[in-house]
Chain A
Amino acid sequence: MFVAVVPAYNEEKTIGSVVQSLFAHVDKVIVVDDCSCDNTYKQALTSGAIVLQHKINRGQGAALQTGHDYALQIGADYVLHFDGDNQFCVEDIKPALKKLKDSGVDILFGSRFLDNRTQLPWFKKYILFPVAKIFNKICGVDLEDTHNGFRILNKKALEQITIEQDRMAHATEIPAKAKKLGLQYVEFPVKVVYHKFGQGLGGGFKVARDLVFGKFVK
């Protein structure tokens, strides 16, 4: 079974259309509503998704792990990470799953840099991503595009990787753990459409802080 996990926080305007567009490409859609203040929960439910609700806002990483736990319980073989803000294209899903299966790897990471379909904001392209890439290399992650929310994990990866970084640092944590656990992974070109800027410099510092402090948490 191929299951999409969509972490959502205040995405009432887009979550319904994202869920409906996903149904043509996956078997089930799990939306993890991370204690949204708006109608995300109702919108996701109305559109036919399985909706899990965090009663306290815990962050995207926490929402993804909640989705993993539930997906494993319902017998998922593959899990797709997909953002709820309509920034990914559903047309990338089937070729990505095929690539994952054909390559015989455990995880597929989406990348904005393997083709030229994505129009990146200047600041992200020339400042934020090069700095992030150096930092990720220091953390042992050698991906072209670490902070891309499009991923597909097989059952083995789902069972072995536990996301402990509750906020955005999970994007570095997942490939770092995959490498440590000896899981095989591949990158695949995906298109990202920017409706809003997303994480800025402040977000980058928070990720670095979480990764550093996370090393000391037992």
Chain B
Amino acid sequence: MLILFQILFTMFVLFAIVNVIKRKQEGLLGPKGLFFWLIFWLLAIVAVLWPNSTTILANYLGIGRGTDFVIYVALVIIFYLLFKLHIKLESVGRDITKVVRREAVGEGVRNKE
């Protein structure tokens, strides 16, 4: 029998998958992103509906408990996403600089004329 958490989590995952598909349709997510997030949410739902599945994987990798395995994987993913986000922010910052610079130099040239 499903416990309340499993029902709520399944509903949340369905909501998340619908959102991922919407983002893809809007062109905000590429094929790689779509693949990553679909696999991510499907694995999450497998781990929640069949908790023993994570223990099997954990034992295979030499980790004691399935929960520990999930936490380790989650931490790695979170740090990776934070890194990617930081790089993206830096890149957007540099693009902003180019626009700000173009305006500043253009205004300087116009003032000179």
Contacts and interface: CB of A to CB of B under 8 A. Distances in A.
A129 to B, nearest CB: 26
A158 B86 CA distance: 29
A218 B91 contact: yes
Interface size on B, as a range, is 10 to 19
A216 B87 contact: yes
A166 B93 contact: yes
B105 interface: yes
B97 interface: yes
Given A50-B112, A54-B100, A213-B87, A164 B105 contact: no
B90 A214 contact: yes
Interface string A99-130: 00000000000000000000000000000000
Interface stretch (A14-22, A63-71, A142-150, A176-184): A63-71
Contacts of A74: 112
Contact of B104 (A53, A210, A217, A218): A53
Chief secondary structure at chain A's binding surface: mixed
A52 B105 contact: yes
Interface string B78-113: 000000001100110110110011011101110110
Contacts of A69: 101, 105
Interface size on A, as a range, is 20 to 34
A32 B107 CA distance: 12
Interface of B: 86-87, 90-91, 93-94, 96-97, 100-101, 103-105, 107-109, 111-112
25 contacts: A50-B108, A50-B112, A51-B108, A52-B105, A52-B107, A53-B104, A54-B104, A55-B100, A56-B96, A56-B100, A58-B93, A58-B96, A62-B100, A62-B101, A65-B101, A66-B101, A70-B104, A73-B105, A166-B93, A166-B94, A166-B97, A213-B90, A216-B87, A217-B87, A218-B91
